[in-house]
Each structure stands twice: as C-alpha cells, then as structure tokens.
C-alpha cells in the first residue's frame, strides 16, 4: 500500500520522505488556503521534495473550459503532477482530455461506486473516495472502498488506483490495507501513529533499563 501525505506542510512532507513513508502528496483548495502561501510556488516546492512521487494539485474552477486551462497549467509544473478534478460531468470530461494527453488525473469527491466506475472509464489515474465524510453522516465509508475494489477487479482493463481519502485514524488505514486499496492519503500525524504501540514502548523501556545494568557500551 502507498502512503500519500494529505498536507502542504513542507517540513512534514520532508520528514515523511526521510522516514521512507512518503509515496505521494495530495492537496486541495482548503489545504492550500490554510497554508497561507501562494499556490503555484508551494506546489513547486512540494514537487522538489518528492520528484518521483505523484503530487495532486487541484483545479479551482467548475467550468470545463477554465478547468482545462488550469489543468494544463498545473500539469506543466512538473512531470509528477496529478491534476485533481471534481467528480462532476465537467470534471470527468477534463479527466478524459488530460488523461489522453498523458497527464495523471486524480478524480476527487467520490461518494458512490458508480461515480468510481465513471472515473475509471474516463481514464483517471486515481479515484479518491472520502471515507471519513461518509462516516460523519452515519454511513460506513469502508463499504464504499470494498465496492469500488470489487467493481475494478471485475474489469482488468481499468488501471485506476483506489486512493482512500478523508482518512481520520489508523483504523481507516488498517481496513483499507485489509481490503487491498492501492493508496491511503492522510495527515502526517495519522501515518506516524502507525508505529506507536504501548507494548513496544514498554518493551523498549525494559531493554534500555536492563542494558544499563550491564555497564557495557556497544561503541
């Protein structure tokens, strides 16, 4: 499974890269707005940190013609840009056009398996179903992931990767991995929670204490 960082925090992205836990980055207009930074230069900096990993940069319009212009401009930033478009009729049309030109496209705001089917037919490199937002309204977000994976498995001609988005906690990652999702994107702090376990901490404390009693040094 690939781990994408859902953030525009350059330090956090670099930290995950150093840890070996960064396979890509996703951003959206809300993340960019919270950063307080200029969009294009920020995306350029992210691409420099992870030049071989997909970096999702989202269009800001809902109009087809303008989205196409925005998509072309974003794709020109770097070879590893995945242009992010909403799952609308215009968004799917943009996806088809950009995909035909060799640009990676991430189709976002997916909330149904049939939407995911349309994105795959439009040539999306990634489909982003939002599990946390479904959980928020009393549904089970992971059910959507299972259905999308099942549909995609039925049609080997589809090469769209299932990118689990709106991930809130490690349990979402665990369930995504068990189902066989291709990618999860989440805040860096959620990824870092994966290596934390009280038994690991307790065991390490015991080893350290016992080693000190020996009075020895490996160095």
Stretch (H or E) spanning 66 = helix 64-75
E strand segments, the chain: 2-6, 24-26, 55-58, 81-86, 104-110, 126-129, 161-164, 183-186
- The neighbouring-strand residues paired with 130 are 165
Share in percent of the chain as helix, strand, coil (round to 5): 55, 20, 30
Q: Is 213 a catalytic residue?
A: no
The DSSP bridge pattern shows strands 55-58 and 81-86 to be parallel
| Overall residue count recorded for the chain in this entry | 219
Measured between alpha carbons, how far is residue 72 from residues 27, 92, 101, 160, 203 in Å? 17, 15, 10, 20, 53
- Give the up-direction half-sphere exposure of residue 215: CA atoms within 13 A in the CB hemisphere: 0
Choice among 48, 69, 84, 213 that is catalytic:
84
Cα–Cα distance for residue pair 94/67, rounded to 1 Å: 7
Which residues are designated catalytic?
A: 84
């Amino acid at each position: 499974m690939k781990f994408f960082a859902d953030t525009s925090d350059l330090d956090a992205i670099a930290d995950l890269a150093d840890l070996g836990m960064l396979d890509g980055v996703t951003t959206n207009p809300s993340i960019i707005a919270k950063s307080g930074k200029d969009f294009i230069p920020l995306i350029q900096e992210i691409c420099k940190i992870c030049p071989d990993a997909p970096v999702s940069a989202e269009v800001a319009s809902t109009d087809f013609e303008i989205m196409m212009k925005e998509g072309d401009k974003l794709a020109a930033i770097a070879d590893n840009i995945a242009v992010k478009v909403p799952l609308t009729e215009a968004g799917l049309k943009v996806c088809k056009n950009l995909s035909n030109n060799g640009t990676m496209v991430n189709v976002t705001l997916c909330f149904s398996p049939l939407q995911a089917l349309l994105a795959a037919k439009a040539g999306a490199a990634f489909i982003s179903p939002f599990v946390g937002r479904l959980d928020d309204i009393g549904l089970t977000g992971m059910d959507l992931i299972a259905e999308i994976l099942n549909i995609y498995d039925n049609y080997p001609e589809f090469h769209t990767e299932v990118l689990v988005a709106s991930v809130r906690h490690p349990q979402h990652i665990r369930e995504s991995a068990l189902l066989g999702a291709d990618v999860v994107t989440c805040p860096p702090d959620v990824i870092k929670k994966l290596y934390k376990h009280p038994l690991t901490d307790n065991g390490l404390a015991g080893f350290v204490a016992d080693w000190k009693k020996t009075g020895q040094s490996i160095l």
